[in-house]
Amino acid sequence: MAKPKKKTKKITERRAYGITVLKASDSRIRKLRKKHEPNIHGNKVWNSSWCIMDFLTSQGLPNGVSVLEAGCGWGPAGIFCAKKFDARVTGLDADAAVFPYLNLHAEINGVEITTYEATFDKLKKKQLSEYNLVIGGDICFWDEMKKPVYKLVEKSMNSGVGQVIIADPGRPPFHKMAEKVIKRIGGEVKEWSVDDEVKANAYLLIVGSLP
């Protein structure tokens, strides 16, 4: 008589770079979806965020830096900065419906993240001057995002932000925005790949540096 097959436990978490990220199938995510449905692509963790984490692992960050994650969504890159480098992190997003997901991940990872609902163009130079590092993954996905993302980079550097890192899988709007940034402000684009704890590929626009 054949033995009954054991049920395989479904994996609903992903752990990499010292943080835990929940998959969409996790019961905690499904519970949140009953009350909060993001409407500006904030419905999962995008792979570009892993490339930001890998780059920052390679580059390093001074402990206690102030970080703004622009278009934060579920906030994985900011949570990574808070956990690994004891950074003071603010998650900025135009869609407040993503914040319950960010707060859940912050709680799971044992960090605190400040949230701020606003579009990029609403940020003032005085606000940006409070940050050492501005990061953003998958935030230049439409043609109409080229101008606000460019302005975010420009305003950040003019406000004394040390470094800006924008990651994208390589969409045309991102490359056009990056070309304009490099021509007028400076910086470089690096092709970045991760093939270890997770697999991800992205282009990183890196402007400025940190001590």
**Residue 44 placed within a domain:** yes
**Residue 8 placed within a domain:** no
**Residue 135 placed within a domain:** yes
Domain interval for residue 191? 13-208
Per-residue pLDDT of the chain (211 residues; tens, 9 = 90+): 555 555 555 678 889 999 999 988 898 988 988 887 776 554 557 799 999 999 999 999 999 999 999 999 999 999 999 999 999 999 999 999 999 999 999 999 999 999 999 999 999 999 999 999 999 999 998 999 999 999 999 999 999 999 999 999 999 999 999 999 999 999 999 999 999 889 999 999 999 999 8
**Residue 179 placed within a domain:** yes
Helices 76-85 and 99-109: crossing angle in degrees, nearest 10, is 30
Q: For the chain, report the end-to-end CA distance as a whole number of angstroms.
A: 68
Cβ–Cβ < 8 Å for 77, 135 = yes
**Residue 4 placed within a domain:** no
**Residue 115 placed within a domain:** yes
**Residue 130 placed within a domain:** yes
- Count: domains in the chain: 1
**Residue 6 placed within a domain:** no
pTM of the model: 0.91
φ/ψ region of 148 (left if φ > 0, alpha if ψ in -120 to 50, else beta) reads alpha
CATH number at residue 170: 3.40.50.150
